[in-house]
Amino acid sequence: MGAHALDDDLEDLAASARADLVREIDASGAWAADPLWREAFAAVPRHLFVPYYYVVARGGYKRRWCGDPDPDRRREWLCGAYADVPLATRVRDGELISSSSQPSLMAQMLTTLRVRDGHAVLEIGAGTGYNAALLAHRLGDGRVTTIDIDPEITESARQHLAAAGHHPAVVTGDGSRGVPERAPFDRIIATCALSSIPGAWPAQCRPGARILAPFATGLIALEVRDAGHAEGHFLTTPAYFVPLRGGTRPEPEPPDLGGLPRRARNDEGFRFVLALTAGTLTPSEAYTLWEHEERPGRERFGITLSGDRARVWLDEPDGPHTWPLS
């Protein structure tokens, strides 16, 4: 069986599973602000982008794939391809290096991106190519650029996209540097976690552009004022992605939280604040801020980029709680 060929019974199962996924995302309200994304998810077959993926098993990962000789395991692969869960798609030396994101989170991110007809979009992190296919369905192939540093990932993404009938620009390179030859962009969306906000991104955007990226276990939505300035709030949604590989700084070592109360050490919201303040505030200072401000949610935080400098703030860019982004 070819990577993109299905038996007739599996074609029917794929159509049914895709319809179920669309209904599940419908119920989540992920695209309530822009229901045109519903059409894209209904049209683009996710299984073409995950001919194999990995599930956690005892001692590591177990592969599910479309060419399994066991028909029951092929059905298991296909049903898993349409589950509303992230799928591990590349594992190297036991480390996850690429994945296909949870579809409902993808729908929320694409809706939050606020694309319009005619927009040019840059995606950082090609992954399987599925997100680029959704963008291409909505905007047209010529309006979409996706980049990844790993040539194996870009080549497979290109093949998956072609199998689905799409041919956006797929670039192999360091996503932190953007794609200047395809600029300017109206939107930039990252599907990998950042440790800093690359200055090249707003510099390659039109004024009024929007940048959406995973950062510090959250999603930051930045409005671009000009080539050197961008600012915006975090969304309420937690977000965990494979890190961007390339020119951004490495993740800092985890801080020692031994002196903090157990409720803080185990609190997901506090860990977000720790990630935002790493290298600037000590864990005890971050804890004092978190408690004093009544354990603020992600949406109360924001980032301002100005040239090569970046600041994090709570509630207001010029308010009493602001600090450099390390």
Catalytically active residues, by annotation: 98
* Residue in 288, 281, 287 with CA at minimum distance from that of residue 264: 287
The dihedral over CA atoms of 208, 209, 210, 213, expressed in degrees to the nearest 10, equals -140
Sheet (strand 322-324) strand order: 169-172, 144-148, 121-124, 185-190, 205-215, 218-226, 229-233, 301-306, 309-314, 322-324
What are the two backbone dihedrals, phi and then psi, of residue 178, each rounded to the nearest 5 degrees? 70, -160
From CA 214, how far away is CA 124, in angstroms rounded?
11
3-state class (DSSP) for residue 53:
strand
Exposure of 165 in the CB half-sphere (CA atoms within 13 A): 7
Tell me the three state secondary structure of residue 76.
helix
Identify whether the C-beta of residue 177 lies closer than 8 Å to the C-beta of residue 200. yes
What is d(CA 191, CA 244) in angstroms, rounded to the nearest whole number?
A: 8
- Compute how many other C-beta atoms are within 10 angstroms of the C-beta atom of residue 27: 9
Rounded-to-integer distance, Cα 44 and Cα 58, Å: 33
Residues 6+ apart with CB under 8 A from 57: none
Torsion from C-alpha of 146, 309, 241, 122, nearest 10 degrees: -10
Measured at the alpha carbon of residue 248, what is the angle toward residues 245 and 252, in degrees to the nearest 5?
95
Nearest-CA neighbor of 275 among 253, 258, 296, 259?
A: 253
